[in-house]
Structure 1
Amino acid sequence: EVMKQPGTNVIEVADAVLAVLPDLQAQLPPSVHLVIKDDNSVNIRKAFGDIRVTMLVTLVLVVGVIYLFLHNASATLIPALALPFSILGAFTVMRVMHYSLNNLSMMALILSVGFVVDDAIVMLENTVRHMEAGESPLEATLNGSREIAFTIVTMTVSLAAVFIPILFMGGILGRLFREFAVTIVSTVLISGVVSITLTPMLCSRFLRVVHAKKGLAGFMDRSFDRLRSGYGRSLRLVLRHRLAMLAVFVGVLYATVKMFGIVPKGFIPNSDNDSLRVQLRAAQGTSYYEMVGYTQRIADLIKQNPDVDSQMANTGGGSGNQNTGRFAIQLTPRATRALTAQQIAQQLRGPLGRFPGFRAFVNVPAALQIGGFRGNSSFNLTVQSLNYDELYAWAPRLEQAIAELPEVEDVSNDMELKSPRVNLIVDRDGGRTWPPQKCQALEGRALRVA
């Protein structure tokens, strides 16, 4: 097992390890083979590749929608140029802050793509309005930018202000989303600067307005005119029935608050990383050889599942007690199997629960592991007390109360109560007063506690 140093990149560490494996294999006997059972970089590479494709598709869609509405190559190119400049500025900020391109920062860039072009389109549309009124490109740009610059600044600052509170969040959430917030805020602010500087300059030099539009452009203009007329009629209807619309607003507000309580909540959504974990726990005092037998029976059952690619088992102590065992199961790639990891885990729970002498717990590893403690289930509750008697009394009650909840399964605790224990206190001061005959009788004897 290879553990990376804090602050290092998972993909870089995995590449370095893979580079030295051929040399290590050459030094081993022919009968020994090095096989990679678990590589966290594989899922990271897949996720990062999906995000890159998503970002490329987002860029194409944004530019395509702009052209669909404007029907003008020069008018499409001007707001589209705001994208690379804003993203370049975001990369600069990330470099200064020592951030990396990961799932969160890439997600922030994807979300900011739509925000980036908004300000530029507003500036462009106002300039086009002045040019359609007969002004020259330079004059239209100056007049349009004077009218709309303050509005763009207000829009940019208000949009960035939405994400600023994330910068001051504490705990795990703050550590997770701080990089996301910095990336998206810097991109939005830079796009605002680009919209009031670069976009007006490009409009004054390259913007061309086509007054007579035919074909698809004419059809789209006529459709927009009909849509605007319909919006005007609906707006007049709403203004004539203000009390009714106020009641609708209150109803929607109430429904929003109500739905907030109904929608399920969680920390991190379930993920399928092509892996499962199985924990075994037998009765206290179970010998090592019995645990080996239990582990072998579980291994024989698990390998019958066609979605299992490989498994690794260990028992007899190590990171756990002698009466525990652990399985690390590697599933086949998600694209090649019909069932998710959650469904496969549910399939295994039934057969694994029929074995006498021990309990088996199946869980899907969390996408984000917080803390070093790993229990038998996905959710762990730690109970601490300075009074052992109270701890022994209340832990079983808590376990029973949680087990009665219909939403949970595989409830267990790791408290060991049944092994006898003797507290031996040596009275050294009292031993000095023993008569010589008693000391001679105990000399050479050993005290054994079973």
Structure 2
Amino acid sequence: IKNPQLTVEIDREKAAVYGVTADQIRNQLFNAYGARQVGTIYMPSNDYQIILEVQPKFRVDPTDLSKLYVKTSNNQTIPLDAVAKMVPTVGPLQINHQGQQPAVTISFNLRPGTSLGYAVDQITKIEQDSNLPATIATGFSGTAQVFQDSLRGQGVLILAAVFAAFVILGILYESFIHPITIISGLPSAGIGAILTLMLFKMELSVIAMIGIVMLVGIVKKNAIMMVDFAIERRSAGLSAEHAIREAALMRFRPIMMTTFAAIFGTLPIALGAGAGAELRQPLGVSVVGGLLVSQLLTLYITPVIYIYLDRIDRRLKRRLDPTLQETPDVEPPRAAAAE
């Protein structure tokens, strides 16, 4: 099955000699075989468009193209075959369109062990290295398009979740310093989730991103427990160092209990048991990995950040209120054994 077509190949040298441009030839062909509107007839009841085209008898044989004439630079007319030649070729049986433009679809399948994100990046790199002309527009469709659309707003979503947590904590503690201390443990959770996904060779899919967003709400409870207890001890007159140290010691057991409760709650999802578990497994892996890493780091990071930010807070308060004096630190009470 063939679809014969006639290709008009312009001889650039001959056209330059006669002063004929490619646009002139293109316009002449469109005038003859296109649907160029040259005017409108206005009637009392309706309007009629005037379409320019050749007579039907000149549209039967391919040799009729030689009967078309174009004007040269000195206003002389020459036949079309004087500056171009007609080459019979075979055209496509079907021309697909997308957005009213001709489109060509190239399909691909994933090799076992290759993630969709890696394949999309490699195809994009090949496209950039090919130096395609500006008239060619490319894009993904199907699953690859859904994947790109899903990742397009994930960064904004995570930033919005962190900002919302900061605002709520700022309202709760009536301070801009303590929310920063609490949120400081979130990067360790994100790093832990990404490292765990890389360890198990899982891609950063939409489900995994949901797990990272969940970590924003889960991980900060460790710092909330310590900071809340430290604020109470500071009101009793203890220094920042002694208050946060006592908070870390006293809140260690509740922190471990709540963390392991969250880990064991998401562990079945991470193990991937049941139908459709491969879809939910990245969520469980990212949550478990983020909790484990953040649990190890926040117990050390949060007290240090609390002490340094507390010093900054006191300096700002003394600068805003010069009459404010530094209160002496009170040593925590120590138990003495009686003989």
Structure-to-structure mapping, 1:89-108, within 5 angstroms: 89-108=192-211
CA contact (8 A) 1:119 1:191 kept: no
Q: By how many angstroms is 1:9 displaced?
A: 2.8
Match of 2:165 among 40, 44, 62: 62
Partner residue, 1:7: 113
Is residue 2:312 matched to residue 1:206?
A: no
Letter in 1 for 2:181: I
Q: Is the 8 A contact 2:192 2:291 kept in 1?
A: no
- Give, in angstroms, the shift of residue 39 of structure 1: 4.3
d(CA) in 2 for partners of 1:130, 1:207: 14
TM-score w.r.t. structure 1 length?
A: 0.41
Report the CA distance shift for 1:4/1:34 in structure 2 as closer, same or farther (over 3 A): farther
Match of 1:46 in 2: 149
- Contact 2:188 2:290 (8 Å CA) reproduced: no
Q: Deviation digits for residues 248-289 of structure 1, max 9, x if unmatched?
A: xxxxxxxxxxxxxxxxxxxxxxxxxxxxxxxxxxxxxxxxxx
Match of 2:273 in 1: 170
Partner Cα distance (2:222, 2:128) in 1: 52
1:195 corresponds to which residue? 298
Structure 2: how far apart are the matches of 1:201 and 1:24? 52
AA aligned to 1:8 is T
Output the amino acid matched with 2:221: D
Partner AA of 1:3 in structure 2: N
- Paired with 2:176 and 2:139, the residues of 1 have a C-alpha distance of 52
- Is the 8 Å Cα contact of residues 138 and 205 (structure 1) preserved in structure 2? no
User: Gaps (5+ residues) in structure 1?
Assistant: 27-32, 214-450
Alpha-carbon deviation of 1:72?
2.0
Q: Is residue 137 of structure 1 aligned with residue 232 of structure 2? A: no
Q: Is the 8 A contact 1:78 1:202 kept in 2?
A: yes
TM-score (structure 2 length as normaliser):
0.54
For residue 306 of structure 2, what is the amino acid of its counterpart?
C
- Give the deviation of 1:101 after TM superposition: 1.5
Q: Which amino acid aligns with 1:113?
A: V
Which amino acid in the other structure matches residue 263 of structure 2? A
1:77 to 177, 180, 204: 180
Please give the per-residue CA displacement for 1:403-426, whole angstroms capped at 9, x wherever unaligned: xxxxxxxxxxxxxxxxxxxxxxxx
Give per-residue Cα distances to partners, 1:419-447, cap 9 Å, x unaligned.
xxxxxxxxxxxxxxxxxxxxxxxxxxxxx
Q: Following the alignment from structure 2 to structure 1, what is the Cα–Cα distance between the partners of residues 128 and 238? A: 70
Correspondence for 1:181: 284
The amino acid across from 1:151 in the alignment is: P
1:86 aligns with 2:189: yes
Q: How does 1:31-430 map to 2 (within 5 A)?
A: 38-207=141-310
Q: Aligned AA for 2:145?
A: V
Q: Rg larger in 1 or in 2?
A: 2
Give the distance between the partners of 1:159 and 1:45, measured in 2 at CA.
Answer: 31
**Amino acid across the alignment from 1:10:** L
Distance change in 2, residues 1:137/1:47 (3 Å): same
From the superposition, tell whether residues 98 and 129 of structure 1 become closer, same or farther in structure 2 (CA, over 3 Å): same
State percent identity of aligned pairs: 18
Please tell me the residue identity of whatever aligns with 1:80. I
Alpha-carbon shift at residue 180 of structure 1 (Å):
1.4
Change (3 A) 1:3 1:73: same
Q: Which has the higher strand share?
A: 2
Between the aligned partners of 2:245 and 2:131, the Cα distance in structure 1 is: 69
Tell me how far 1:106 sits from its aligned partner. Answer: 0.6
Q: Give 1:11 deviation, angstroms.
A: 4.0
Aligned counterparts of 1:118 and 1:23: Cα–Cα separation in 2? 50
The number of residue pairs the alignment matches comes to 205
User: In 2, Cα distance between the equivalents of 1:45 and 1:87?
Assistant: 21
Equivalent pair of 2:189/2:215 in contact (CA under 8 Å): no
| Unaligned ranges ≥5, structure 2 | 1-106, 318-339
Cα deviation 1:319-361 (Å, max 9, x = unaligned): xxxxxxxxxxxxxxxxxxxxxxxxxxxxxxxxxxxxxxxxxxx
Please tell me the residue identity of whatever aligns with 1:5. R
Amino acid at match of 2:150: A
Determine helix, strand or coil for the equivalent of 1:207: helix
Secondary structure at the counterpart of residue 251 of structure 2: helix
Offset at 1:54?
1.4
- RMSD of aligned residue pairs (Cα, Å): 3.0
Aligned CA distance change for structure 1 residues 123 and 22 (closer, same or farther; 3 Å): closer
- 2:211 and 2:283 in contact (8 A); partners too: yes
The answer (yes or no) to whether the contact 1:127–1:203 under 8 Å persists in 2 is no
